[in-house]
């Protein structure tokens, strides 16, 4: 059976040719030839036909500013199109492997592993698992929403060409439509003319939830249901396994533009979207459930439910009965739609809780089952029920987040009016004060009294004052998590508990409306995990709040800032150790831990294949519940295409089910003491080397001169500022532009620097290569860490990076670039030896990907260097420079 009629090379070739036609038609023959000449020169150098890139550099520099802009535009558009071609190839691989039964990490393979256990153990594992992808508004998406929309259209046309049997005329019409979209794409501005606002970011996240994930989730549940039935006797029910969350419109850390109004608008818009989706689903279901009431027995439970709706909505009930005379299911569905219409309405009768809607769907399903219509339930009712369980009445629950210092300062300013000098209290005194304040009945501060406070502190109090209103209006679950950035002391968590208590969101011991989530990201915080969490678990007020939340503690680990502070190897080891330590602390206090992994898209910020990351977690930390951030361009790559989105969710679920089973079978994984000692040696030395680099005199200046950081700060990628205070220090710079800058210059040091120094230290102290090879073969953590570093090394191009280094002052260049080169060469050598292979990466597709892309990225880099090195740039040159950053990001398929 032939599933597809095309291949990636054909797609790339024909899209490239069509782009060339559009480019020439929209510009000129001369401009087209300039792009073609650059392309050929770059390919010839890469293939060995040219000895140097000097002729290519000369070509680019001799172009007029207008022609340079066209060249940058041409290569940027090319990458956007071949990204679609490669996306289509991923879909082909998924469909082909699924058809042939060779798909790795499938739900079938997960079910086979579960099938080794008895049915009760399988039920427990399924009940334990809850996966919470959390979409953030972190500014790493370089493409405009308008551009993404046009690319989605082209992707749909490619699918039509590939998967449908078309006549010659039909195929010609499809290509005409692709031509039209590419022409429109060329005429559309690539660079934003304004900084996106928080609500733009919230709408962007909402798009993926509404247009892809809403439909995909039900299909994943269906597949798992079938796989479990085939492998596990007893057919256990499949509970809720997924929940989607978002920071877009609610993450205030470093972003003054995220106001209570923005959050309220986001909550309202998301509720409107999900209710409309449910209404559409129930309308379609009404078209199916046309059963004649005189020929079936709907059952007493169904009739009682319908009668309650009639009493609740008498006017609508009469209309439903007249329209659907003798059709009980349609009457019920009509009234269910009416109840959805009244959610958040002044009229009574709307659904107050999502459980009420689920109960109605279950009543319909059971009635159908009793009438022998099980297939109708499986095909039409169960998918809706699972959508409702997953997306609730809010589409995605919002997490609030802010920096701990903002809470401290706000409380101190508010307490000053009460004659209390909070800033002057010691940590122990702060803990005691906050605990007593939460436990007493009377409020301590008035959240509405903000006139005498600073703007930042007023915003904090206004937020908590609004939180109670939001939970009343939209339900507690719509916004029930508060994350605290840079948590380093127990008081930082108790401060949020105190503010929530003053707002009435918490009323102990009976009720706590929020999970308070410490974000541990500095070495001080991570190493002090027992001090922080142990104090909280033993604190009278916090213990009551924890009890009210089911004794589940969510703890967030910050990958980005941890890496920026300590370097790749040391950060990964610290995170691994501290995950185990946190697991022990929670076990000691009989608390269920839910780790929240603050992963970015790039390797250095915790990125990489999600399924491998989940399987590499320490067994003692795998409680079944797991949460992780999805951000920037990674969201588009994973969730824009429905089939790829389904595959990603399937891989997550495969990994988490298997990881949980292994944790049940063996709560503590076997990690040899020799391996731990090896990692301690390597990580300590690697951290020292990394810190020495960052703290070397002149390194900040080198970074500024040898990367396009100044351009990136002005790209309008997101609503949040690029740095925390506007100062030029590595510590102050946010992790995203830090990684983005190195990625643009093709020297991706955040993903590999100091690994070689660390490994060499172990070998020099008497460690053996055989030990490292055994660790790689038998320890998932070590293997995943090195494989991820290998991906960053593979994407690094030191010849191009050298061009950027040449822009730095000569003494800075000579001091730092050879140091980076030596570390790179040794890391590549060592990783290949440890992995016992003759190339860096283990993925065939990556080699093909790099071979296809590198010759086209190179001209953009060389043009960017030329423009960066100019002391005075015209407006058109500034726009071209910013466009090169977009193009390189598209070519690298990564920003930060």
DSSP reduced 3-state for 327: coil
- 623 sits in the region (left: phi over 0; alpha: psi -120 to 50; else beta) called alpha
Count Cα atoms within 13 angstroms, Cβ side, for 169: 0
Nearest to 277 by CA among 330, 365, 218, 364: 218
Kindly report the number of other CB atoms within 10 A of residue 815's CB atom.
16
Q: Cα separation of 519 and 576, whole Å?
A: 15
- 88 sits in the region (left: phi over 0; alpha: psi -120 to 50; else beta) called alpha
371: tokens are: 């009438």
Given a contact cutoff of 8 angstroms between Cβ atoms, the answer to whether 488 and 437 are in contact is no
Q: Cα separation of 829 and 825, whole Å?
A: 6
DSSP 597-626: EE--SSGGGT-S-HHHHHHTS-GGG--SEE
My answer on whether omega of the bond before 893 falls inside 30° of 0, hence cis, is no
Given a contact cutoff of 8 angstroms between Cβ atoms, the answer to whether 530 and 573 are in contact is no
H helices present in 490-597, as ranges: 490-503, 523-527, 529-537, 540-548, 559-566, 568-588
Given a contact cutoff of 8 angstroms between Cβ atoms, the answer to whether 625 and 82 are in contact is no
H helices present in 232-313, as ranges: 260-288, 300-312
Catalytic residue among 564, 577, 597, 661: 564
The 3-state secondary structure of 51-115 reads CCCHHHHHHHHHCCHHHHHHHHHHHHHHHHHHHHHHHHHHHHHHHHHHHHCCCCCCHHHHHHHHC
Q: Cα separation of 28 and 64, whole Å?
A: 14
Nearest to 686 by CA among 748, 616, 749, 760: 760
Nearest to 600 by CA among 140, 87, 132, 258: 140
Given a contact cutoff of 8 angstroms between Cβ atoms, the answer to whether 853 and 43 are in contact is no
H helices present in 616-734, as ranges: 633-639, 642-665, 673-695, 699-706, 709-712
Q: Cα separation of 383 and 35, whole Å?
A: 50
DSSP reduced 3-state for 677: helix
246: tokens are: 């978002």
Instruction: Respond yes or no: is residue 138 known to be catalytic.
Output: yes
Instruction: Respond yes or no: is residue 564 known to be catalytic.
Output: yes
DSSP label at 399? E
DSSP label at 242? B
Nearest to 708 by CA among 867, 887, 877: 867
DSSP reduced 3-state for 845: helix
Given a contact cutoff of 8 angstroms between Cβ atoms, the answer to whether 594 and 623 are in contact is yes
CA torsion sign for 808, 812, 815, 820 is: negative
Q: Which residues contact 223 (CB under 8 A, 6 or more apart)?
A: 107, 650
DSSP label at 476? G
Q: Cα separation of 14 and 160, whole Å?
A: 15
Catalytic residue among 138, 407, 577, 886: 138
Given a contact cutoff of 8 angstroms between Cβ atoms, the answer to whether 731 and 738 are in contact is no
- Count Cβ neighbours within 10 Å for each residue of 740-762 and write b for 16 or more, e otherwise: bbbbbbbbbbbbbbbbbbbbbbb
User: Any idea which residues carry the catalytic annotation?
Assistant: 138, 564
């Amino acid at each position: 059976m032939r599933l597809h009629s095309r291949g990636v090379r054909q797609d790339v070739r024909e899209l490239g040719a069509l782009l060339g036609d559009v480019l020439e038609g929209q510009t000129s023959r001369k401009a087209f030839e300039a792009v073609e000449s650059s392309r050929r020169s770059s390919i010839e150098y890469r293939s060995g036909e040219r000895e140097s890139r000097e002729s290519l550099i000369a070509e680019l520099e001799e172009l007029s500013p207008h022609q340079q802009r066209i060249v940058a535009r041409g290569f940027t558009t090319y990458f956007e199109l071949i990204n679609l071609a490669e996306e289509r190839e991923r879909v082909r691989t998924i469909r082909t492997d699924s058809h042939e039964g060779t798909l790795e990490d499938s739900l079938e393979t997960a079910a086979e592993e579960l099938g080794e256990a008895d049915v009760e153990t399988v039920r427990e594992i399924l009940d334990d698992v809850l996966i919470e992808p959390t979409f953030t508004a972190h500014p790493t998406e370089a493409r405009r929403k308008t551009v993404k929309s046009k690319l989605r259209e082209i992707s749909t046309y490619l699918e039509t060409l590939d998967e449908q049997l078309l006549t010659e005329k039909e195929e010609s019409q499809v290509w005409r439509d692709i031509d039209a979209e590419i022409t429109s794409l060329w005429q559309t501005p690539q660079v934003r003319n304004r900084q996106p606002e928080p609500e733009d970011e919230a709408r962007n996240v909402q798009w993926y939830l509404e247009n892809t994930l809403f439909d995909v989730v039900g299909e994943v549940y269906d597949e798992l249901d079938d796989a479990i039935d085939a492998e596990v006797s007893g057919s256990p029910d499949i509970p809720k396994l997924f929940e989607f969350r978002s920071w877009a419109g609610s993450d205030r850390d470093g972003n003054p533009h995220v106001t209570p109004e923005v959050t309220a608008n986001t909550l309202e818009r998301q509720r409107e979207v999900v209710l409309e989706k449910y209404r559409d689903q129930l309308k379609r279901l009404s078209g199916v459930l046309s059963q004649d009431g005189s020929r079936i027995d709907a059952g007493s439970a169904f009739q009682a439910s319908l009668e309650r709706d009639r009493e609740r909505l008498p006017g609508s009930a009469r209309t439903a009965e007249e329209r659907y005379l003798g059709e009980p299911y349609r009457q019920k569905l009509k009234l269910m739609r009416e109840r959805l219409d009244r959610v958040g309405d002044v009229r009574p009768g709307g659904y107050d809780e999502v459980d009420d809607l689920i109960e109605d769907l279950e009543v319909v399903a059971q009635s159908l089952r009793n009438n022998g219509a099980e297939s109708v339930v499986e095909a039409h009712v169960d998918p809706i029920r699972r959508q409702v369980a997953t997306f609730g009445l809010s589409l995605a629950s919002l997490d609030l987040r802010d920096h701990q210092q903002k809470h401290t300062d706000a409380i101190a300013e508010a307490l000053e009016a009460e004659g209390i000098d909070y800033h002057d209290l010691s940590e122990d005194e702060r803990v005691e004060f906050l605990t007593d304040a939460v436990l007493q009945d009377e409020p301590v501060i008035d959240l509405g009294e903000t006139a005498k406070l600073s703007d930042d502190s007023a915003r904090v109090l206004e937020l908590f004052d609004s939180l109670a209103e939001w939970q009343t209006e939209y339900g507690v679950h719509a916004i029930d998590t508060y994350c605290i950035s840079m948590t380093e002391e127990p008081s930082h968590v108790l401060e949020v508990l105190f503010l929530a208590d003053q707002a009435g969101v918490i009323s102990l011991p009976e009720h706590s409306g929020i999970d308070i989530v410490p974000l541990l990201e500095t070495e001080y915080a991570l190493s002090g995990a027992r001090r922080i969490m142990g104090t909280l678990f033993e604190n009278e007020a916090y213990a009551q709040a924890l009890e009210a939340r089911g004794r589940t503690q969510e703890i967030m680990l910050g990958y980005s800032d941890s890496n920026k502070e300590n370097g790749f190897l040391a950060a990964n080891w610290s995170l691994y150790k501290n995950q185990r330590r946190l697991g022990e602390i929670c076990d000691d206090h009989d608390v269920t831990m839910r780790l929240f992994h603050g992963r970015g898209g790039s390797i250095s910020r915790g990125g990489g294949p999600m399924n491998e990351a989940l399987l590499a977690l320490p067994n003692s930390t795998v409680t079944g519940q797991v949460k992780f951030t999805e951000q920037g361009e990674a969201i588009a790559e994973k969730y824009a295409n429905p089939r790829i989105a389904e595959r990603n969710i399937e891989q997550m679920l495969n990994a988490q089910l298997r990881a949980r089973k292994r944790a049940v079978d063996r709560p503590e994984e076997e990690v040899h003491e020799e391996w731990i000692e090896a990692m301690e040696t390597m990580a300590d030395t690697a951290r020292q080397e990394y810190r020495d680099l960052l703290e070397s005199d002149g390194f900040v200046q080198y970074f500024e001169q040898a990367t396009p950081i100044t351009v990136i700060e002005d790209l309008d990628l997101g609503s949040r500022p690029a740095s925390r205070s506007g100062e030029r220090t590595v510590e102050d710079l946010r992790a995203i532009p830090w990684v983005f800058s190195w990625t643009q210059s093709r020297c991706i040091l955040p993903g590999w620097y100091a690994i070689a120094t660390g490994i060499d230290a172990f070998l020099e102290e008497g460690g053996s290569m055989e030990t490292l090879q055994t660790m790689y073969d038998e320890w998932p953590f070590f293997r995943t860490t090195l494989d991820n570093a290998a991906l960053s090394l593979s994407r690094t191009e030191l010849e191009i990076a050298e061009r950027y280094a040449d822009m730095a002052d000569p003494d800075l260049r000579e001091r730092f670039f050879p140091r980076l080169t030596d570390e790179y060469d040794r890391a590549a050598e060592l990783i290949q030896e440890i992995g016992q292979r003759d190339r860096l990466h283990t993925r065939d597709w990556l080699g093909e990907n790099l071979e296809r892309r590198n010759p086209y990225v190179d001209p953009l880099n060389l043009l960017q260097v030329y423009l960066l090195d100019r002391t005075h740039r015209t407006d058109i040159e500034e726009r071209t420079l910013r466009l090169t950053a977009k193009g390189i990001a598209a070519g690298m398929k990564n920003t930060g």
